[in-house]
A and B are shown apart, each in its own frame.
Chain A
């Protein structure tokens, strides 16, 4: 008996220590790409919340305030750390930049805000964020940073008209094209001016993929690292046209799904003229960006943040609008908007708020800092900020100059966004596996009725 107990104790001890070890392993793992990426371009690797506290002893030199920026864009982390360091060297004000891992911004924000030293500068990117965080945001109306803006198109207000957050960059999305491949297939970019012409080109390339050595569309995986390109971005075309020019200012309780057929047009074109069999999209594992970069596919559904990643391999890459068979769409432009809006934490100390404001103004006025930031963000809508070099944003401007309409990001209103998109992904998985009318009806239910259900979940 006694011996027995000893062994048992040993076994239990092993079990305990191992389960603790396993626990550690798990918590480390959950840091890696998790959950849905609302905005999850390439650089997952530098995700994991990482910080560099340039000067933790507060009040060195100037003796007032410090800045803690909770950053939303993992791909910009390195540049931001660098800019923060420069600012501290120049002014002595400590600036800490922490980056939330891809797709975990809202959970990171929730826990960081609860700490004794919460972020002083954070992101409120859409109406849902305004709803949750407006009471923590300083009213920015008439502040020095607001006076530097050259447009108020990307500002967010709450119901009482308080300026909750202001855009620090904007982005655009659409279909990225490799013009060289289009020409190699015997077509020209000028040919593509609406859905029918896009369809003709894409289907021709797909049918001759074997002979050409490349296909029309890169893979449209439905895993978390990729599905947002469709459930978030491409879905925007439906919402945009449904507004019929009457731009939403708050989340509608229901949507009609009037332009679902147009969404289906473009979606079908994407999955059926691609490198990957639609039946294999559910778990993902295809690297769409790489397919485009290596010249295996001519079209790539994504946004302006991809420019840095593809410009070296595909220097002529450009972006075209979501053509989907709506009347008059020859005049369509790209989808422009942002989820990158700065808010100042009004519960932080006065000194910290002031330090944060000074830092923001410096970011958009200092030539070197704004140069670095513009290179990573694409563009910053401020009077004195550096010029953009992003080819896709240039394309967006070109469309506007040609008198095309900009498609606003109505998709930012998606209610209970993670859950709404997850449901849509599930429905699209069924549809990809079997493109029957019944399965499309399920997609429509998830898309249209799901909106009302999630709206009620959040507001009911």
Chain B
């Protein structure tokens, strides 16, 4: 009996080895066209001056020098970092809380899950415009607007992102929570652990893998945020310094790259491309660091 099963699975493995490429092929091709090739081209373009991609002129690292001299990019970086950290903490705390309560046997918890998840199905641009009206409906009563104070812009974006992302992370946490083995929980109860102790000493260590994913997602989402930023404030308010130079106080990295790319300066496309490469290294590096760190905290059963 045991033997038979083994040979069976062996032949499957063999067939998989032989024919696997057929099934991998389309994905590999799509991945090359959609990711690998543009990625290589992007790195190449970051060292070029170009208006159209088809006639780019190689200029070395001059674009990168310009990026590091660009004050708006530095401002956007710090603003984005702050936003990413704050949104990461709030989103995950809220998402875990919601997931925790919805896995307790509450009446209608399926309905709640659906409702919490729904905001995710709306596109970022739409959300941005809708929320800008909501915020201004409220702030209008106090004779102000989300476009007038950068702190409103910051917290507005946090609220928007929480509203959109909490439901999403919640689903992942629920999947994790439902997977905590009942016998461990029972053992903890028999040993007399309080519910708080159970939560922190048993449940949370067992859903660490969900935390890894959720923190990774919310961190990279925070850094990559674009649509919502564009639609909600578009970088406003600007601080207009004497002399006319401006700082777009709520402009995040992705929007900064976009604005650079579409400025009328004939050299700015290359600079924007260089910014995009730096941006990629940054997000990828941070993501990997965080993955490595939280992985260590996961428990294996």
Q: Contact check, A430 vs B53: say whether CB atoms are below 8 A apart.
A: no
On chain A, the number of residues with a Cβ less than 8 Å from chain B's Cβ atoms is 59
- Hey, which bits of chain B sit against chain A, CB under 8 A? 51-54, 120-126, 132-133, 136, 140, 143-148, 168, 171-172, 175-176, 178-179, 209-210, 213, 217, 227, 230, 234-238, 240-246, 259, 262-266, 300-301
Q: In the bound complex, what is the Cα–Cα distance between A34 and B140 (angstroms)?
A: 24
Known: A4-B209, A433-B148, A457-B265. A30 touches B227 (CB 8 A): yes
The stretch of A85-93, A143-151, A380-388, A413-421 that contacts the partner chain? A413-421
Q: Contact check, B125 vs A26: say whether CB atoms are below 8 A apart.
A: yes
- Hey, which bits of chain A sit against chain B, CB under 8 A? 1, 3-4, 7-8, 10-12, 14-15, 18, 21-22, 25-26, 28-30, 32, 34, 106-107, 110, 113-114, 128, 131-132, 224, 279-280, 282-283, 285, 415-419, 422-423, 425-427, 429-430, 433, 442, 445-446, 448-453, 457-459
Known: A417-B264, A429-B237, A449-B243. A4 touches B301 (CB 8 A): yes
Chain A residues whose CB sits within 8 angstroms of the CB of B263 once the complex forms? 416, 418-419, 457-458
Known: A132-B51, A283-B133, A457-B263. A426 touches B245 (CB 8 A): no
- Give the distance to chain B from A390, nearest Cβ to Cβ, in Å: 31
Q: Which of B52, B136, B176 contacts A113 (CB 8 A)?
A: B52
Q: In the bound complex, what is the Cα–Cα distance between A317 and B282 (angstroms)?
A: 57
Q: Contact check, A416 vs B301: say whether CB atoms are below 8 A apart.
A: no
Q: In the bound complex, what is the Cα–Cα distance between A452 and B242 (angstroms)?
A: 12
- Give the distance to chain A from B242, nearest Cβ to Cβ, in Å: 7
- Give the distance to chain A from B161, nearest Cβ to Cβ, in Å: 13
Chain A residues whose CB sits within 8 angstroms of the CB of B236 once the complex forms? 422, 425-426, 429
Known: A22-B123, A419-B259, A449-B243. A283 touches B143 (CB 8 A): no
What would 12 A/B residue contacts be, using CB atoms closer than 8 Å?
A4-B301, A21-B121, A28-B123, A131-B266, A279-B140, A279-B144, A415-B264, A429-B147, A429-B237, A430-B237, A457-B265, A458-B263
Chain A residues whose CB sits within 8 angstroms of the CB of B179 once the complex forms? 3-4, 7-8
The 5 closest A-B pairs by CB, nearest first: A449-B244, A29-B123, A426-B238, A282-B145, A29-B125
Q: In the bound complex, what is the Cα–Cα distance between A451 and B243 (angstroms)?
A: 10
Chain B residues whose CB sits within 8 angstroms of the CB of A458 once the complex forms? 263-265
Chain B residues whose CB sits within 8 angstroms of the CB of A4 once the complex forms? 179, 209, 301
Q: Contact check, B124 vs A132: say whether CB atoms are below 8 A apart.
A: no
- Give the distance to chain B from A421, nearest Cβ to Cβ, in Å: 11
Q: Contact check, B262 vs A418: say whether CB atoms are below 8 A apart.
A: yes
Q: In the bound complex, what is the Cα–Cα distance between A282 and B241 (angstroms)?
A: 21
- Give the distance to chain B from A264, nearest Cβ to Cβ, in Å: 17
Q: In the bound complex, what is the Cα–Cα distance between A1 and B126 (angstroms)?
A: 41
Chain A residues whose CB sits within 8 angstroms of the CB of B53 once the complex forms? 114
Known: A415-B264, A450-B240, A458-B264. A8 touches B143 (CB 8 A): no
Q: Which of A26, A107, A282 contacts B124 (CB 8 A)?
A: A26
